[in-house]
């Protein structure tokens, strides 16, 4: 694959691809303390639910390594320091469940063995598991795309948002590798243009047939029968099957219902949050007005939520690494992701 990795881990060094500069500049930031990791996540140098979980896991490792091996002799202090860093990292972004999921996994591991090797191993497991999860989503979702289809996606749930292959894009990558012809329409995804800067770039670099559209063009394409299915990623799926994803996802789901187009969500098991019952309970990140205002000189209030909630009744199916969940989604997700948890 030609896309550079969002997170690199080599010889105890954590490198984060600075996605704010893509696609023009490919540059890595070296993270060596907790504040560096927090800033990278908060300012979207690294973004995408699984990638921020992976980055947070390694950030805890480098931050604890900087404390020195001496702390391993004092397990109580080791755990207290780790907890302080973990809580801080969790505050970097509120919506994607993968961030706290990954950080809590590291803390749980440290409770069993409070040492650097154990937490490094756990961070590496999280990264390795994500590769397998994305591939499984790709394998499970492949059948949903037929030769000649027009597929619409939103934001970036691609390789840049995970370890590799992406979630929403994994079925696209696998079918493309097998030579299947299809077209991908990419929403530019205002205000930060993850679709235009990241998804359009990575899929076209992979050789796919990609067309970029403004967010407000989806309805007209659907009216012209150019879209056969929509696949998006997610930052969190709640117990009832509500989907929290990039702002604008809800618009697409409503359009799909109107035009009778399947609306699919790719959800890794790490993004399923059975502890939260409904989508409206999830904190939606509000971002800086300047992202929307851009160069505008207007002095007006700005509303800038980064995510929206798509109600479960608008979702045709959820593609997970353990299979495809079909309605009733709450029951199907529980069966696939809780009961099958070995």
Phi first, then psi, for residue 89 (nearest 5°) are -60, -40
Exactly one of 5, 59, 100, 167 binds ligand MRU (CB under 6 A); which one? 167
Exactly one of 14, 22, 92, 96 binds ligand MRU (CB under 6 A); which one? 96
Contacting range for ligand MRU; rule: CB under 6 A; set: 108-116, 160-168, 176-184, 309-317: 160-168
Report the site for ligand MRU in 175-194 (rule: CB under 6 A).
Answer: 194
Shortest gap between Cβ of 68 and ligand MRU (angstroms)? 33
DSSP 327: S
234 belongs to the binding site for ligand MRU (CB under 6 A)? yes
Cβ-based nearer residue to ligand MRU, 150 or 233 = 233
Of these residues, 130, 187, 228, 235, which one is catalytic? Answer: 235
Cβ-based nearer residue to ligand MRU, 119 or 200 = 200
- Kindly give, in sequence order, each residue whose CB lies less than 8 Å from that of residue 220, ignoring residues fewer than 6 positions away: none
Report the site for ligand MRU in 5-64 (rule: CB under 6 A).
Answer: 47-50
Cβ-based nearer residue to ligand MRU, 47 or 176 = 47
Cβ-based nearer residue to ligand MRU, 155 or 203 = 155
Rounded CA gap, 303 and 314, in Å?
Answer: 24
Under 8 Å between Cβ of 238 and 281: yes
Rounded CA gap, 163 and 27, in Å?
Answer: 17
Rounded CA gap, 161 and 159, in Å?
Answer: 5
235 belongs to the binding site for ligand MRU (CB under 6 A)? yes
Cβ-based nearer residue to ligand MRU, 32 or 285 = 285
Exactly one of 155, 203, 208, 325 binds ligand MRU (CB under 6 A); which one? 155
Active-site annotation holds for 228: no
279 belongs to the binding site for ligand MRU (CB under 6 A)? no
- Per the document, the length of the chain is 342
Q: Which helix (H) or strand (E) holds 37?
A: helix 34-42
Tokens, residue 186: 């990419």
Strand order in the sheet with 236-238: 272-273, 236-238, 243-246, 307-310
Tokens, residue 162: 């995970």
Shortest gap between Cβ of 146 and ligand MRU (angstroms)? 23
Q: Which residues of 243-265 are buried (b: 16+ CB within 10 A; e: fewer)?
A: bbbbbbbbbbbebbeeeebebbb
Cβ-based nearer residue to ligand MRU, 82 or 203 = 203
Point out which residues pair with 187 in neighbouring strands.
213
Contacting range for ligand MRU; rule: CB under 6 A; set: 53-61, 156-164, 256-264, 314-322: 156-164
Applying CB under 6 A, the residues found at the interface with ligand MRU are 47-50, 96, 155, 157, 161-162, 167, 194, 233-235, 245-246, 306
Catalytic residues: 235
């Amino acid at each position: 694959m030609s896309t550079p990795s969002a997170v690199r881990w080599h010889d105890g060094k954590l490198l984060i691809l600075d996605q704010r500069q893509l696609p023009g500049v490919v540059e890595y930031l070296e993270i060596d303390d907790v504040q560096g990791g927090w800033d990278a996540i908060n300012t979207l140098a690294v973004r995408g639910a699984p990638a921020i979980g992976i980055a947070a896991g390694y950030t805890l490792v480098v931050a604890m390594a900087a404390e020195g091996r001496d702390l391993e002799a004092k397990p109580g202090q080791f755990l207290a320091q780790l907890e302080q860093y973990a809580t801080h990292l969790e505050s970097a972004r509120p919506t994607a469940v993968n961030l706290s999921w990954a950080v809590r996994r590291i803390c749980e591991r440290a409770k069993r063995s409070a040492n650097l090797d154990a937490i490094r191993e756990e961070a590496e497991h999280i990264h390795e598991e994500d590769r397998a999860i994305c591939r499984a989503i790709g394998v499970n979702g492949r059948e949903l795309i037929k030769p000649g289809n027009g597929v619409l996606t939103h934001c970036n749930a691609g390789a840049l948002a995970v370890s590799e292959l992406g979630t929403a894009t994994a079925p696209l990558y696998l079918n493309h590798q097998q030579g299947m012809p299809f077209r991908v329409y990419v929403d530019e995804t205002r205000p930060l243009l993850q679709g235009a800067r990241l998804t359009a770039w990575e899929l076209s670099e992979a050789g796919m047939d990609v067309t970029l559209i403004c967010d407000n063009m989806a309805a007209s394409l659907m009216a012209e029968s150019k879209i056969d299915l929509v696949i998006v990623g997610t930052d969190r799926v709640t117990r009832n099957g509500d989907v929290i994803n990039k702002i604008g996802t809800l618009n697409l789901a409503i359009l799909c219902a109107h035009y009778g187009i399947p609306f699919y969500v790719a959800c890794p098991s790490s993004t399923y949050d059975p502890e939260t019952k409904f989508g409206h309970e999830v904190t939606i990140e509000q971002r800086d007005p300047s992202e929307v205002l851009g160069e505008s000189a207007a002095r007006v209030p700005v509303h800038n939520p980064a995510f929206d909630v798509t109600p479960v009744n608008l979702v045709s199916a959820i593609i997970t690494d353990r299979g495809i969940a079909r309605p009733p989604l709450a029951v199907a997700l529980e069966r696939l992701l809780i009961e099958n948890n070995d």
